[in-house]
């Protein structure tokens, strides 16, 4: 089995991490977080969300943050659920957006206030206009490995919804284990199912949450399946406020440790990253859930 030589880490800490925190950080701390992550060598840092501020008050300062970041934020992707969110992002010169759909009916309702089918009517004009404006679009599909309300989610259903989201005009599809219940065999099967449905490995990314401690094992299964983009969150922050039992993402430090050990290039300065997560844990007032941060932070 040949592992990839190089992996792209798609950092979601400032978005997935901070959207789930009880405390709302001042914008200047969020901006410093993004800057430090970029300086630590992370090639992609998802900065914030242009969702409804009442739905995610933690990220209600999206405009302010992007202004504060200025040029540094130009290549940072942001979440955009609909045309209203796109208008807000376009006004700030954002170049990369991510839409986020659900593989299940219940989570579509809870997270987007739309049915599974209705979510496409919301995303279709959003992606079309984004592409017309020259933006790059990523698509997430959530609840790929299990749903807290519906239980097991059939692989066929995940593939159908995921392909439909991707085919709206995305350059990449990120497969989300939103509540962290998946295991390595499921990762292998899902990647194989998407490839059998005509998607190439470089069009797929994996997005793990670590609720059941499976995220790193699942990432390894993804590497073995040939995936080269992995979402991760500095310090293991994260979760979704609209998904029961969603906890932190795969910690970027834990992923970096694994990749380094396997001899896979990632371009990240682990010391700078750990220092950033330790600083953030101090601001949030609790220790980082990342094992590697706890082991290395002074």
Q: Outline where 61-183 has alpha helix (H).
A: 62-69, 83-91, 105-112, 116-132, 155-166
- Report how far residue 158's alpha carbon sits from residue 80's, in angstroms, rounded to the nearest whole number: 21
Say which entry of Mg ion, ligand HMG, none residue 111 contacts (CB below 5 to 8 A, set by partner kind). Answer: ligand HMG
The residue annotated as part of the active site, out of 65, 173, 240, 278, is 240
Give the residue carrying structure tokens 């959003």. 126
CA distance 155 to 103: 10
Note if 240 is an active site residue.
yes
Q: Which is nearer to ligand HMG, 52 or 95 (CB)?
A: 52
Which residue of 10, 33, 50, 230 would you call a contact of ligand HMG, by CB under 6 A? 50
Q: State the nearest-atom distance from the C-beta of 82 to ligand HMG, in Å.
A: 5
Residues 60-119 that bind ligand HMG (CB under 6 A): 79, 81-82, 84-85, 88, 100, 111-113
Among 79, 124, 123, 70, smallest CA distance to 97 is for 79
Identify which of residues 174 and 270 has a Cβ nearer to ligand HMG in the complex.
174
Q: How would you class 151 by CB atoms within 10 Å of its CB: exposed for 0-12, middle for 13-18, buried for 19 or more? A: exposed
CB of 49 to ligand HMG, least distance (A): 5
Separation CA 268–CA 252 (nearest Å) = 10
In angstroms, the CA 293 to CA 66 distance is: 28
Query: CA angle 271-272-277, nearest 5°?
Result: 95
Going by C-alpha positions, the residue among 269, 263, 267, 270 that lies closest to residue 4 is 263
Binds 128: which of ligand HMG, Mg ion, none (CB < 5-8 Å by kind): none
CA distances from 134 to 73, 77, 126 (A): 17, 14, 13
Task: Report the residue number, 6 or 244, with the smaller CB distance to Mg ion.
Answer: 244
Nearer Cβ to ligand HMG (52/129): 52
Which pair of structure tokens corresponds to residue 53?
């501020």
Among the listed residues 52, 129, 131, 163, the single contact to ligand HMG using CB under 6 A: 52
Q: Counting runs of H as helices and runs of E as strands, what totals does the chain give? A: 11, 9
Which member of 10, 123, 140, 194 binds ligand HMG (CB under 6 A)? Answer: 140
Which residues within the stretch 12-71 sit at the binding site for Mg ion (CB under 5 A)?
A: 16
Distance of CA 245 to CAs 24, 71, 107, 158, Å?
20, 36, 13, 20
Which partner, ligand HMG, Mg ion, none, binds residue 126 by CB below 5 to 8 Å per kind? none
* Residue 70 CB coordination number (10 Å): 10
> Any contact of residue 55 with ligand HMG (CB under 6 A)?
yes
Instruction: Considering the complex, state which of residue 249 and residue 288 has its C-beta at the smaller distance from ligand HMG.
Output: 249
Query: Is residue 49 close enough to count as binding ligand HMG by CB under 6 A?
Result: yes
Number of residues that bind ligand HMG (CB under 6 A): 26
- Name the residue nearer to ligand HMG (CB basis): 79 or 137: 79
Range in contact with Mg ion (rule: CB under 5 A) among 8-16, 88-96, 131-139, 191-199: 8-16
Output the smallest distance, CB 237 to ligand HMG, in A. Answer: 12
List interacting residues with ligand HMG (CB under 6 A): 16, 19, 49-52, 55-56, 79, 81-82, 84-85, 88, 100, 111-113, 140, 142, 176, 178, 207, 209, 240, 242
List interacting residues with Mg ion (CB under 5 A): 16
């Amino acid at each position: 089995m040949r592992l990839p030589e190089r992996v792209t880490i798609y950092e979601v800490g400032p978005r997935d991490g901070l959207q789930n925190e009880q405390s709302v950080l001042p914008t200047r701390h969020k901006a410093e977080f993004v800057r430090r992550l970029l300086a630590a060598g992370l090639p992609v840092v998802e900065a914030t969300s242009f969702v409804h501020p009442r739905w995610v008050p933690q990220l209600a300062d999206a405009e302010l943050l992007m202004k504060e970041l200025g040029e540094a934020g130009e290549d940072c992707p942001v979440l955009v659920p609909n045309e209203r969110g796109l208008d807000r992002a376009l006004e700030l010169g954002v170049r990369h957006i991510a839409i986020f759909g659900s593989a299940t009916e219940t989570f579509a309702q809870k997270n987007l206030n739309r049915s599974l089918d209705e979510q496409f009517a919301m995303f279709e004009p959003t992606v079309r206009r984004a592409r017309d404006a020259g933006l790059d679009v990523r698509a997430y599909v959530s609840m790929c490995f299990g749903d807290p309300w519906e239980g097991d989610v059939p692989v066929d259903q995940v593939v159908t919804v995921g392909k439909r989201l991707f085919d709206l005009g995305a350059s990449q599809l990120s497969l989300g284990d939103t509540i962290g219940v998946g295991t390595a065999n499921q990762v292998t099967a899902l990647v194989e199912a998407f490839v059998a449905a005509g998607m190439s490995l470089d069009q797929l990314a994996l997005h793990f949450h670590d609720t059941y401690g499976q995220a790193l094992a699942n990432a390894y299964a993804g590497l073995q399946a040939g995936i080269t983009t992995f979402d991760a969150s500095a310090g293991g922050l994260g979760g979704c406020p609209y998904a029961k039992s969603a906890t932190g993402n795969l910690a970027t430090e834990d992923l970096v440790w694994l990749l380094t050990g396997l001899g896979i290039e990632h371009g990240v300065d682990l010391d700078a990253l750990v220092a950033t997560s330790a600083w953030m844990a101090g601001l949030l007032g609790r220790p980082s859930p990342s094992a590697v941060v706890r082991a290395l932070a002074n």
